[in-house]
Amino acid sequence: MIARILILLSGVLILASCQSDSTRRNTADAQIEKRIDELISRMTVEEKIGQTNQLTVYGTTEELCEKIRNGEIGSLLNVVDPADINTLQRAAVEQSRLGIPLLIARDVIHGFRTVFPIPLGQAATFDPALVEQGARIAAIEASAAGIRWTFSPMLDISRDPRWGRIAESAGEDPCLTSAMGAAMVKGYQGEGADDPTSVAACAKHFVGYGASESGRDYNSTNLTERQLRNVYLPPFEQAVRSGAMTLMTSFNDNDGIPSTGNRFLLEEVLRNEWGFDGMVVTDWNSAGEMVSHGFAADTKDAAMKAINAGVDMDMMSHVFSLHLEDLIDEGTVDEQRLDEAVRNILRVKFRLGLFENPYIDTARIARVTYAPEHLEAARRTAEESAVLLRNEGGILPLDASALRSVLVAGPMADAPAEQLGTWTFDGEPDHTVTPLAAIRAAYGDRLRIGYNPVAAYSREKVTAAKLAAFTAQAASYDAILLFVGEEAILSGEAHCLADLNLQGSQSELIAAARRSGKPVVTVVMAGRPLTIARDLANTDALLYSFHPGTMGGPALIDLIFGNAVPSGKLPVTFPVATGQIPIYYARNMTGRPAAGNELLLDEIPVGAGQTSLGCTSYHLDAGFGPLFPFGFGLSYTTFKYADLQLDKETYLPTETIRASCRLTNTGKRTATEVVQLYVRDRVGSTVRPVKELKAFDRITLEPGQSRTVEFELPAEDLAFWGLDMQKRVEPGTFDLWIAGDSQSGNSVTFTIN
Ligand code: GLC
């Protein structure tokens, strides 16, 4: 056995472990650590390497069982049949030398069988308790299939709707994303990880992936450490603090370093600063792809860089199983690093109770999937996730008693698979309740309901004749309900768009409906913000539903006919035009902020002399502001914010700011408002955003009812990583808003000494 020595490779410091025993003991059950120590002491290097190897199910069950019996596999993904899982698990537990159970994983991103709105839609609820319930239900259904690890929550801050994966995110804001991520972690992992319905969460993609240049997936990112620390890392830190058992490295190279080989992230930040004692898995083949990045010379170099950066498990690149033994024999990788990786993996398996309960009761899945309470939770989430963006003349809610007929139209009106959205591997479209099915069930006995998709799918281009015929048909109905948007496949991983206008002839379809002269209600079902500015003039009302899942139909019909009131708020900014991207509310002021009165393209005099026009920061053809700001959403009532006040004018960094305002429902319907608290640090050692969300709450009021809404904001929540790259609350003057979105409301000022 070649003497193993610690070798200092230039630029790659190989550390056996950055977790002191005491940290491990403090954060993990000492009993589990003892069992890990005992098991590791009996493992061969080959068996240790086997634990670091994650494969997707392939070939025949017998082929897989053979590799499992030999101790070559630690985890499998994409097997969802409980009987198959038991067979594979038996090979590990009863037929391998050490009987270490497999960790069975799956992308359960927004539900398993019962599909909830895509995470971007869930974020629009601003309702962490509801999102936690959804994750709990996903865990109950997935664990019934034998899945005990999900690759969720996705916590990538996403400020670029060209990027298809914005659908899986909680949007652009670190505070909202942190709240949603913590809720999902708690929901997935439940009361105790060893509960058979508990599923290990996986905070992904660590880190910065949402800033992929040009919104093109897998592209490079160029975030400074300060941006990482102030914007992109906080949701992951919150997930770790919430007990997330695993993390996944991201595909992107940031500042030239692929995350899968970034020791600063995986050891310095994750282990040393945050004390994370769970397991780090790579994204699919991202270890091997470091060769393509040009960061590793070959797969052996990639294996060395991944394991030494702090990766514990390799998803599907095989580099660990191919090269780790040689790397250890050569002394390029210290076996202690391998031991640490195996400890982290075994710790997850012990915590999940897999050694005690490795098998699944195959009868359980039939009992739990599509349970009525699951479907109701999915419906309620779809209802709360819908955002009312336009309601001219208060056309919504429709009064069914005042109507005789309604024409339901558009390619998304009865599209059960598209409605489920991206990353829906196990949702079953035949369980989807579409808007067409929902309106027929609820109003078929009293309304003449017509149906015309006009286009078979969102991208289909239809003829002018077909649109004209639709206009004529629509004129014979009392109201038109249009359902447009995106097919699910146009959203999600690797599905990025350079143009965000509605696909196909959908904008023409909305215009054709307008020409009927009848009231038009448009529902957009999509996986991202779309540039709908040109469509707004052609619809009286517009409801935005981020792919709402299994129960999207009943939720939307309830909202349209007033059985429910919209409360959703935008988790991401809607641009006027794609060219404005990236556009987000927590922007910097710049030295020349737009005044809002700048000349736009058509206002510039012909032959104008060479000037710098407004001398401010804006686009001649799109202006400065968004179409709809972060946090925006209308209701069927109106709310008044008044009496904004603080308990003091000056605070110490260790104190708590108590802010309150008087919220009144000034309309005619009981409704829920998402009240948002924003802060601005006017002057910092580095430039600070014009606003940052720091808290929010859902407040339900009856017509005429008022309530004093109170927030307690620890001053330490205003800390940021400043010029000296230390996180601290800097003294100075701050503005504070409590409002219904990121652009409205009055502010009060306070100072921190
Ligand atoms: C994919 C995704 C990741 C997912 C993994 C397993 O490429 O990037 O989010 O969890 O592979 O399917």
Q: Which atom of ligand 1 is nearest to the CA of 151?
A: 10
DSSP letters of 182-223? Answer: HHHHHHHH-S-TTSTT--B-EEEEETTGGG-GGG-TT--B--
Distance (Å, whole) CA 462 – CA 23:
64
Q: Residue written as tokens 């190279």?
A: 253
Considering only CA atoms, which residue is closest to atom 3 of ligand 1? Answer: 283
pLDDT > 60? residue 3? no
Considering only CA atoms, which residue is closest to atom 8 of ligand 1? Answer: 283
Residue 282 C-alpha to ligand 1 middle, in angstroms? 9
Q: Which atom of ligand 1 is nearest to the CA of 204?
A: 9
Residues 94/87, Cβ–Cβ less than 8 Å: no
pLDDT > 70? residue 732? yes
pLDDT category of residue 26 using cuts at 50, 70 and 90: low
- Collapse the DSSP code of 23 into the 3-class scheme (helix H, G, I; strand E, B; otherwise coil) and give the result: helix
Closest CA to 165 of 176, 157, 174, 173: 157
pLDDT > 50? residue 132? yes
pLDDT at 193: 87
Most confident of 25-34, 59-68, 395-404: 395-404
In this structure, the strands spanning 279-281 and 257-258 are: unpaired
Residue 83 C-alpha to ligand 1 middle, in angstroms? 24
Considering only CA atoms, which residue is closest to atom 11 of ligand 1? Answer: 284
> What is the tens place of the pLDDT at every residue in 406-453?
999 999 999 999 999 999 999 999 999 999 999 999 999 999 999 999
pLDDT at 20: 56
Instruction: Say which residues have a Cβ less than 8 Å from residue 20's Cβ, sequence separation at least 6.
Output: none
Mean residue pLDDT of the chain comes to: 96
Considering only CA atoms, which residue is closest to atom 12 of ligand 1? Answer: 107
Residue 338: C-alpha distances to residues 16, 222, 246 (Å) = 8, 31, 17
Residue 250 C-alpha to ligand 1 middle, in angstroms? 9
Residue 204 C-alpha to ligand 1 middle, in angstroms? 9
pLDDT > 90? residue 580? yes
Q: Tokens at residue 7, please?
A: 């070798």
Ligand 1 mutation pick, 58, 80, 283, max ligand atoms within 8 A of CB:
283
Residue 56: C-alpha distances to residues 35, 74, 289, 495 (Å) = 28, 11, 17, 22
Residues 711/617, Cβ–Cβ less than 8 Å: no
Count other C-beta atoms under 10 Å from residue 741's C-beta: 20
Q: Tokens at residue 402, please?
A: 């005042």
In this structure, the strands spanning 405-409 and 448-452 are: parallel
User: What Rg, from alpha-carbon coordinates, does the chain have?
Assistant: 27
- Provide the percentage of residues in the chain whose pLDDT is more than 70: 96
Q: What are phi and psi of 71, to 5 degrees?
A: 75, 30
pLDDT at 27: 55
The secondary element (H helix, E strand) that includes residue 589 is none
Q: Tokens at residue 338, please?
A: 């391998």
Residues 137/377, Cβ–Cβ less than 8 Å: yes
pLDDT at 18: 42
Rounded to 5°, angle at Cα 254 from 6 and 110: 105
Residues 46/96, Cβ–Cβ less than 8 Å: no
pLDDT > 70? residue 6? no
Q: Is 283 a catalytic residue?
A: yes
- Give CA 288 to chain center in angstroms: 26
Q: Tokens at residue 378, please?
A: 């999915």
pLDDT at 13: 45
The single-letter code of the amino acid at 176 is: L
Closest CA to 188 of 211, 154, 235, 213: 154
pLDDT at 19: 52
- Collapse the DSSP code of 496 into the 3-class scheme (helix H, G, I; strand E, B; otherwise coil) and give the result: coil
> What is the tens place of the pLDDT at every residue in 511-540?
999 999 999 999 999 999 999 999 999 999
pLDDT > 90? residue 728? yes
Catalytic site residue from 283, 314, 535, 741: 283
The secondary element (H helix, E strand) that includes residue 533 is helix 533-536
> What is the tens place of the pLDDT at every residue in 80-100?
999 999 999 999 999 999 999
Q: Which atom of ligand 1 is nearest to the CA of 168?
A: 9
Residues 280/270, Cβ–Cβ less than 8 Å: yes
Rounded to 5°, angle at Cα 462 from 457 and 465: 145
The secondary element (H helix, E strand) that includes residue 133 is helix 128-145
Residue 283 C-alpha to ligand 1 middle, in angstroms? 6
Q: What are phi and psi of 568, to 5 degrees?
A: -65, 150
> What is the tens place of the pLDDT at every residue in 264-308?
999 999 999 999 999 999 999 999 999 999 999 999 999 999 999
Residues 443/406, Cβ–Cβ less than 8 Å: yes
Distance (Å, whole) CA 73 – CA 98:
13
Q: Residue written as tokens 């070798």?
A: 7
pTM > 0.85: yes
The secondary element (H helix, E strand) that includes residue 258 is strand 257-258
Distance between the two ends of the chain, CA-based, in angstroms?
A: 62
Residues 380/130, Cβ–Cβ less than 8 Å: yes
Residue 152 C-alpha to ligand 1 middle, in angstroms? 10
In this structure, the strands spanning 656-665 and 706-714 are: antiparallel
In this structure, the strands spanning 246-249 and 202-206 are: parallel
Distance (Å, whole) CA 721 – CA 419:
41
pLDDT > 90? residue 58? no
- Collapse the DSSP code of 226 into the 3-class scheme (helix H, G, I; strand E, B; otherwise coil) and give the result: helix
Closest CA to 431 of 111, 80, 113: 113
Rounded to 5°, angle at Cα 678 from 675 and 682: 165
Residues 319/47, Cβ–Cβ less than 8 Å: no
Ligand 1 mutation pick, 165, 251, 493, max ligand atoms within 8 A of CB:
493
Q: Tokens at residue 65, please?
A: 């069982």
Q: Which atom of ligand 1 is nearest to the CA of 78?
A: 12
Residues 639/663, Cβ–Cβ less than 8 Å: yes
Longest CA span, the chain:
87
pLDDT > 80? residue 603? yes
Residue 143 C-alpha to ligand 1 middle, in angstroms? 19
Q: Which atom of ligand 1 is nearest to the CA of 105?
A: 6
Which residues have any ligand 1 atom within 6 Å of their CB? 107, 151, 204, 283-284, 493
Considering only CA atoms, which residue is closest to atom 10 of ligand 1? Answer: 151
Q: What mean pLDDT comes out for the span 487-505?
A: 98
Q: Which atom of ligand 1 is nearest to the CA of 284?
A: 11
Q: Residue written as tokens 């394991």?
A: 307
Residue 244 C-alpha to ligand 1 middle, in angstroms? 17
The secondary element (H helix, E strand) that includes residue 390 is strand 387-391
DSSP letters of 336-381? Answer: HHHHHHHHHHHHHHHHTTTTT-----TTHHHHHTT-HHHHHHHHHH
The single-letter code of the amino acid at 636 is: Y
More confident residue, 326 or 613: 326
Ligand 1 mutation pick, 58, 284, 422, 424, max ligand atoms within 8 A of CB:
284
> What is the tens place of the pLDDT at every residue in 174-206?
999 999 999 999 999 998 888 999 999 999 999
